[in-house]
Structure formats: structure tokens, C-alpha cells
């Protein structure tokens, strides 16, 4: 037992690593100025197709650089149907060493209204 919940499998640990990467802004982590995906910056961006493309690109670049052992099976980035200022990100991923087992994480970010 500790402050942070433990993980019991490599896949669930990879999910924790992925969340940590995506919820960190570049420059936030000491000694690793490029670690992160800058997704928290979407909080101040108006919702648009360009924003959705930028978020997808940022996710793919961050994973390629920092978590090369994770492969994305499905990446969905879409506005929330009931909350117009919310962006939902669903990522189905697997470990490159075990492509038969998947895990999904979901992140939600509030954005400014256009």
C-alpha cells in the first residue's frame, strides 16, 4: 500500500505511464523538457477540426518519443455530445511485445466555446 495505486500487469502499468505522459505539459518534468503531450493547453483553445487534428498529432508524437513499446490500435478524439465544451479522448492500445491484449483509457478536457 502506498500513496499511488499499484498495478498488477505490464499492460495496466503501461496505461498508467500513458496517462502520465498525456497529462503532463512539455517542460513540466525536471530534466526532461520534451516529456509530455501539452494536452492541457487545449483547455484554452476553441473547439475546431484543426484542434482535433493537433491533439491527435501531439498524442502520436509523444507516444513515439517516450513510450515506443506502446502501439495505438484505436484513437478517437471527439467533442462530447452532451457537453459542447468538452473533448473526449479514447485510446485503445497494446504492448508491442503482446499485440493480442488491449487496454483502453479515456481522458476528458474542457475547452473554450467558439
Q: How far apart are CA 34 and CA 15, in angstroms?
A: 20
The closest of 85, 67, 88 to 15, measured between CA atoms, is 67
Q: What's the mean per-residue pLDDT of the chain?
A: 86
Percent residues over pLDDT 90 in the chain: 48
Above 60 in pLDDT, residue 67?
yes
pLDDT for residue 113: 53
Q: How far is CA 108 from the centre of its chain?
A: 10
pLDDT for residue 3: 66
Furthest C-alpha separation in the chain: 45
* The C-alpha cell that represents 9 in the structure block: 500487469
Amino acid at each position: 500500500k502506498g500513496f499511488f495505486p499499484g498495478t498488477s500487469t505490464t499492460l495496466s502499468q503501461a496505461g498508467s505511464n500513458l496517462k502520465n505522459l498525456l497529462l503532463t505539459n512539455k517542460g513540466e518534468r525536471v530534466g526532461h523538457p520534451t516529456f509530455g503531450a501539452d494536452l492541457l493547453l487545449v483547455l484554452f483553445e476553441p473547439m475546431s477540426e484543426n484542434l482535433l487534428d493537433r491533439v491527435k498529432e501531439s498524442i502520436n508524437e509523444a507516444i513515439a518519443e517516450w513510450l515506443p513499446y506502446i502501439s495505438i490500435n484505436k484513437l478517437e478524439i471527439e467533442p462530447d455530445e452532451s457537453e459542447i465544451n468538452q473533448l473526449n479522448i479514447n485510446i485503445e492500445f497494446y504492448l508491442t511485445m503482446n499485440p493480442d491484449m488491449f487496454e483502453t483509457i479515456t481522458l476528458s478536457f474542457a475547452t473554450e466555446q467558439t
